[in-house]
Amino acid sequence: MKAARSRKGVTLELRTDRAYLATTAYADDGPLTDRMALYEHQRPRIDLEAEVLARLGEVAGRRVADIGCGNGRYVGPLASRGAAVVALDLSVGMLRSVTAPARVGRAVADAQALPVRARSLDAALAMHMLYHVPDPALALREAARTLRPGGRFVAAVGGPRHLAEAGELWRRLLEGTGVQDEAADIDLINRRVPKDALARLLGEHFAEVECSLLASTVVLQDPGPLVRHMLSSTAARAAAARGLDISNRLRGALEEAIGKDGAFWLTTEVALFSARAGGN
Give the model's pLDDT for residue 242.
84
User: Residue 7 pLDDT > 90, yes or no?
Assistant: no
Does 2 have pLDDT greater than 80?
Answer: no
* Least reliable range by pLDDT among 31-35, 139-143, 171-175, 218-222: 171-175
Residue predicted with more confidence, 5 or 245: 245
When comparing pLDDT for 28 and 191, which is higher?
A: 28
3-state SS, the chain, equals CCCEEEECCEEEEHHHCHHHHHHHHCCCCHHHHHHHHHHHHEECCCCHHHHHHHHHCCCCCCEEEEECCCCCCCHHHHHHCCCEEEEEECCHHHHHHCCCCCCCEEEECECCECCCCCCCEEEEEEECCHHHCCCHHHHHHHHHHHEEEEEEEEEEEECCCCCHHHHHHHHHHHCCCCCCCCCHHHCCCCCCCCHHHHHHHHHHHCEEEEEEEEEEEEEECCCHHHHHHHHCCHHHHHHHHCCCCCHHHHHHHHHHHHHHHCCEEEEEEEEEEEEECCCC
Which domains does the chain carry?
Answer: 16-276 (3.40.50.150)
Residues 44-100 pLDDT 10s: 999 999 999 999 999 999 999 999 999 999 999 999 999 999 999 999 999 999 988
The per-residue pLDDT for range 188-246, each reduced to its tens digit, is 999 899 999 999 999 999 999 999 999 999 999 999 999 999 999 999 998 888 888 88
Q: Please state, in angstroms and rounded to a whole number, the distance separating the CA atoms of residues 36 and 218.
A: 12
Read off the pTM. 0.93
> With contact defined as beta carbons under 8 Å apart, do 68 and 129 qualify?
yes
Residue 159 neighbours by CB distance under 10 Å:
20
Q: How far is CA 48 from the centre of its chain?
A: 13
Cβ-proximal residues to 211 (8 Å cutoff; 6+ apart), any chain: 195, 199, 271, 272, 273
Whether 119 contacts 100, CB under 8 Å? no
The model's pLDDT over 147-203, given as tens digits with 9 standing for 90+, comes to: 999 999 999 999 999 999 999 999 999 887 877 655 668 889 998 999 999 999 999
